[in-house]
Structures are given as C-alpha cells and as structure tokens.
Amino acid sequence: MMLPENAGLCSVCGKKKAVILCDGCNTGLCEECRKFDLWGYGCGHVDTRVFCPACFDDININPYSGKLNEST
C-alpha cells in the first residue's frame, strides 16, 4: 500500500520518509528498509509483497522466504 506525502518516518531506521506499508504488520517503511518478495501461485500468477525486515524473516508471515525460528 502506498503512503501519502505526509506519511511519517520509516519505523525501521527512523531517518527516512516512509513510502510504503509492510504487508505483515502495516508499519511504515522507507525505500531502503522495505524488502520485496515474490509469492508464486500454482496457476503462474505472481504477487509482489512488501515486508519490513522482521516480517520478511518470519515464516508465519512470509512462508516463502521466512526462516523457522530454531530457538523455540
């Protein structure tokens, strides 16, 4: 989801203007902190997802590229 011009600062680095929302937690992300992932479906359709670094690595939110938390 794109953000309006008056959106706040990126909630990851807190330095740059947020330009997009994380698909996992809806936090504002700047151009440098957002992470794109492509989710492919069986029919050949591919969806672009945008995540913050934490959600990108969370397998419950991003089952395509997330990592299992081996400490649990």
Contact footprint for Zn ion (CB under 5 A): 10, 12-13, 16, 22, 24-25, 30, 33, 52, 55
- Residue 19 DSSP SS3: coil
Distance, CA of 58 to CA of 24 (rounded, Å): 9
Smallest gap, in angstroms, from Cβ of residue 65 to Zn ion?
13
Per-residue burial over 19-28, b = 16 or more CB atoms within 10 Å of its CB, e = otherwise? bbbbbbeebb
Nearest CB to Zn ion, comparing residues 23 and 40: 23
Nearest CB to Zn ion, comparing residues 12 and 43: 12
Smallest gap, in angstroms, from Cβ of residue 29 to Zn ion?
6
- Any bridge partners for residue 51, and if so which? 35
Nearest CB to Zn ion, comparing residues 3 and 25: 25
